[in-house]
Structure 1
Amino acid sequence: MLKRYLLTSIVVGAIFLTGCENDDKAALPLSTSVDKQIIAMESVMAPVPLVLTLPQKEYYYKEYSAIVNKLNEEYGTGFKLDPITTFSANYWLELKDFEDMLKGRIDTSYVVVDNKEVFSPVKVPKFVELHMGAHRTIIRVDGSFDTQLSMDIPGGRQLFSVMHSLSSKIEQGKGYWTQTRYDPSIKDHGSAYNIAIGGYYSYNGVSSPHIIEIEYYCNIHGGIT
């Protein structure tokens, strides 16, 4: 599994921190331009929501449930229809548009953006780009740690001593992210933490499970990236 680009399917259960480098600043206008193009494209391609009566909503909700079950059987996905009481007005789509929206979420991947800045162990951010077809959502992860000096290594160095907490939320993009668990594993004699984060991403009335793996590294002085 690649460190920079990790594929995670819905079967498994599924911003950047720029430094002060001139090259990074020079790249910002291009990134912004690309983001605007993506947003404009999504706006043009977005289906028009339906205006429905309550009985019509109940009918469409039943049909949506059948579509979710069909795709789960065909593709082995873990889609789950959110309660009808949580549906916003823009969730109600034609049946074909709803199915196409879900099929676009089957091709799912994520990228963990490497930190270019060193942080105090108290609160260390990481950013994860969650890609679903042309749709992108950025999730922010915050970890809290302690480090201690180890003299077992010649000259001494700081190593992780404990992990206090880890939280995650959507930083940019549509939808909702709910973290359900995280499993930390210390490695490399205490200089790194590998963490598997489990959660659900909800968009347009449908939730999907995801597992995201990230890694924190402690340098010799106790700075975390």
Structure 2
Amino acid sequence: MLKKYMFIGVVLGVSFLTGCENEKVDNSTSSKTSAVEHKIEKETVATTEKAHSPIPLILTPAQKEQFYKDYTAIVHKFNGEYGTAFVIDPITTFTDEYWLELRDFEEMLKGRIGTSSVVIDNKEVYAPGLVPKLVELQMGSHKIAIRVDGSFDTQLNANTPDGRQLFSALHSLSSEIEQGNGNWKQMGYDPSIVDHGRAYSITVTGYYSFHGVSSPHNLDIIYYCNKNGGIT
């Protein structure tokens, strides 16, 4: 009788272990299936987005002249209806991928209506000689990142309670696209020392160009000087 019970116990134990092993295999298979489905889903989205991209036209020089006139009329219409300040770039700057169907050109402009900018705070402290700032420029559904590099001087001010460093001069300031498509052309900047020398408030002006259409933008940036002369 004792041998009979021992035999039953061994059989049950083997069944339990086999069940656990099957469960591991099922979970592993499910995980792999999920990963494959996720990969397929991402590839499908990427393929779909690519499929929805406008297809450039192949035009003769005469056709390009006519399309350019139509584009110019569309830009003027948008500026009147939406209060935008779009500027059509010279036809000599148009590359092959700029020539789109009129409806695709309009959709491209609609995607750039409404502008906002956000300055990303520096997590590092920089020496005054070269201090970067990153600005995210959002234009409707279109977004780019512009890097602004400033070069400063600071000096020790003994008249402050803690004898701290303060801004004394701005030597230069430049900007360029860090992330995103298109072209950025800086036109100028307006600097002003504020907070008794602890900060520099600067408005950078420039034009952003994409697919043959430019728009003016003002980027408001503030650089901060800590008591030791480090800049953020």
Shorter chain as normaliser: what TM range? 0.7 to 0.9
1:124 and 2:131 matched? yes
Question: Structure 1: which 5+ runs fail to align?
Answer: 1-35
SS at structure 2 position matched to 1:212: strand
Aligned equivalent of 2:111 = 104
Residue 107 of structure 1: how far off its partner (Å): 1.8
Point out the structure with the larger helix share.
Answer: 2
Normalised to the residue count of structure 1, the TM-score between the two structures is 0.80
Higher relative contact order (CA 8 A, sep 6+): 1
- In the alignment, does 2:78 pair up with 1:80? no
- Spell out the pairing of 1:18-167 with structure 2 (5 A cutoff): 43-167=50-174
**How big is the shift at 1:44?**
4.3
- Change over 3 Å in CA distance of 1:39–1:76 after alignment to 2: farther
The alignment status of 1:178 with 2:180, answered yes or no, reads no
Counterpart residue type for residue 179 of structure 1:
Q
8 Å Cα contact 2:152-2:172 kept in structure 1: yes
Change (3 A) 1:219 1:38: farther
Amino acid across the alignment from 2:66:
Y
Q: Give, as a single letter, the amino acid of the residue that structure 1 aligns with 2:57.
A: L
Superimposed CA distance per residue, residues 46-90 of structure 1 (whole angstroms, 9 cap, x where no aligned partner): 211111111111110000000001111111211110011100100
Task: Return closer, same or farther for 1:80/1:40 CA change in 2, 3 Å cut-off.
Answer: farther
Distance in 1 (alpha carbons) for counterparts of 2:202 and 2:44: 34
SS in 2 for 1:141: strand
Would the alpha carbon gap of residues 175 and 73 (structure 1) be closer, same or farther in structure 2, given more than 3 Å must change? same
CA shift for structure 1 position 40: 7.1
User: 2:210 matched to which residue of 1?
Assistant: 203
Describe the shift of the 1:75–1:38 C-alpha distance in structure 2 as closer, same or farther (beyond 3 A). farther
Question: What RMSD over aligned residues (CA atoms) do the two structures have, in Å?
Answer: 1.8
CA contact (8 A) 2:112 2:141 kept: no
Counterpart-to-counterpart distance in 1, 2:45 and 2:225: 36
Partner residue, 2:39: none
Superimposed CA distance per residue, residues 80-135 of structure 1 (whole angstroms, 9 cap, x where no aligned partner): 10011100100011101101111111122111100000000000000111112232
State how far apart, in whole Å, the 2-side matches of 1:109 and 1:38 are: 27
Does 188-197 or 127-136 show the bigger shift?
127-136
- Structure 1 CA distance, aligned partners of 2:134 and 2:104? 30
1:186-213 Cα shifts (integer Å, max 9, x gaps)? 1000000010010000000000001110
Relative distance call for 1:143 and 1:154 in structure 2 (3 A) is same
Residues 159 and 108 (structure 1), Cα distance of their counterparts in 2 relative to 1, 3 Å cut: same
- d(CA) in 1 for partners of 2:135 and 2:46? 19
Q: Measured at CA, do residues 77 and 163 of structure 1 come closer, stay the same or move farther in structure 2, by a change above 3 Å? A: same
**Shift >3 Å, 4+ stretches:** 36-45
TM-score w.r.t. the length of structure 2 is 0.78
1:62, 1:161 → 2: CA distance?
50
* Aligned partner of residue 58 in structure 2, secondary structure: coil
